[in-house]
Amino acid sequence: MKTARAAWRRLEPVHGMIYFIPEARRRYAELGLSGRARYFASRSAAFGRASAELVISTFYNFNPDFVRQAVAGAWDATEPQQVLDARYAAAGEGLRRAGIHELPHLEEVLTLTRRAAEAACEHTQGRPLFAAHAALPWPQEPVLQLWHAQTVLREFRGDGHVACLLSEGVGGLEALILHAATGEVPVDFLRASRAWPEDEWAATRERLRERGLLDGDSLSAQGALLRGHIEDRTDRLALPAYAALSDAECERLAELARPFGHAVVEAGLLKIG
């Protein structure tokens, strides 16, 4: 389980850069999308003309009012297929800028990652955002195939994570505050990007303190146990994808994935702004 998580985490920047690169912002702007509409429309385009309510339910931890404002009019400006085409084009441009296409072992990493992604596609039930991406056709270019494979795996894991949060009674804003309390991501970024009002953030934080999950603004021992439990269950729900690989192949993917993630980071593709 730890090896599968390492393989996913080390390759995750290959997918995650799409939310930060200027290539994506430029291509979405050409379609008439601006601001946060670019994020919501591009990630939900696999659904087709997704409603704000569908985005709210599947993206989970964003302020619903913010989503409604951002999504309003997006599908009047453009069509989902145009957004999907722009997203793939931007992903290819960004990853080539990072030199992904020149890295050794690209073919092997792609083969292993695609096998995991295709195995995940046998388990679409209860994972709506993943299922929408799994239904998309595979690109022809190897770099885009790798991006698509990692995108599928990311949404597979993400839907499982939402299921774990729901089963533990942890709402979207609560999950966000508990994440912020780990110190892994700057709290200012999480607050700004998810757009929860300060009074709701403060009230929810206080409720988490009353439940014993926070000690000040940090996780309490109980909170750390809950987060660890949720992450472990998320890992377990992601295993059907990596079960397609032998233990040796999973270890090999985890080993080979590291330079790919590093290349994205070193090229600055994950910089905010």
Distance CA 4, CA 258 (A): 13
pLDDT of residue 1 exceeding 90, the answer is: no
- Predicted local distance difference test score (pLDDT) of residue 158: 97
- ∠ Cα 154 160 166 (to 5°): 135
Residue range 14-35, pLDDT digits in tens: 999 999 999 999 999 999 999 9
Q: How far is CA 228 from its chain centroid?
A: 19
Going by pLDDT thresholds of 50, 70 and 90, the confidence category of residue 273 is: low
Q: How far apart are CA 208 and CA 174, in angstroms?
A: 7
Question: Can you give the residue ranges of every domain in the chain?
Answer: 2-266
Read off the pLDDT of each residue in 49-74 and give the average, rounded to a whole number. 94
Residues whose CB falls within 8 Å of the CB of residue 85, separated by 6 or more in sequence, listed in order: none
Distance CA 214, CA 220 (A): 5
Q: What is the pLDDT of residues 108-141, one digit of tens each?
A: 999 999 999 999 999 999 999 999 999 999 999 9
Residues 6+ apart with CB under 8 A from 272: 20, 189
Residue 192 has pLDDT above 90, yes or no: no
Q: Is the pLDDT of residue 272 over 80?
A: no
> pTM of the full predicted structure?
0.95
pLDDT value at residue 133: 98
